[in-house]
């Protein structure tokens, strides 16, 4: 996968969880997970490359929270339009 994308899971019209897929090698799987702060978990593959960010509290997490994690792991920040699907509900 070459580009990142945000996948949002809804229940009864409200966001239940979200996952920000980061660029990764085909077939890469999470080998370890680290706490990214309140409502955030960062998945890494076996070589230590970050492959995704799980948003476990989508109503409490802000784009600023996610961008802080992205900067910490050396990834580009999200633009507001990238975060928009989570706020659409």
pLDDT of amino acid 89: 57
How far apart, in Å, do the first and last CA atoms of the chain sit? 27
pLDDT of amino acid 5: 92
Instruction: Tell me how far apart the alpha carbons of residues 52 and 68 are, in angstroms, rounded to a whole number.
Output: 14
Q: What is the dihedral of CA 83, 84, 86, 89, to 10 degrees?
A: 170
Q: Domain range spanning residue 30? A: 5-87
For the segment 7-28, the average pLDDT, to the nearest whole number, is 92
What are the backbone angles phi and psi of residue 23, rounded to the nearest 5°?
-55, 140
Instruction: Tell me how far apart the alpha carbons of residues 45 and 9 are, in angstroms, rounded to a whole number.
Output: 23
* pLDDT single digits (tens) 21-79: 999 988 899 999 999 999 999 999 999 999 999 999 999 999 999 999 999 999 999 99
The number of folded domains in the chain is 1
């Amino acid at each position: 996968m070459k580009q990142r994308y945000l996948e949002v899971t809804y229940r009864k019209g409200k966001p239940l969880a979200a996952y920000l897929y980061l660029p990764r090698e085909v077939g890469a799987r999470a080998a370890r997970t680290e706490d990214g702060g309140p409502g955030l978990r960062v998945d890494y593959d076996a070589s230590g490359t970050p492959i995704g960010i799980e948003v476990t509290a989508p109503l409490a997490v802000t784009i600023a929270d996610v961008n802080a994690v992205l900067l910490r792991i050396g990834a580009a920040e999200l633009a507001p339009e990238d975060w928009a699907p989570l706020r659409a509900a």
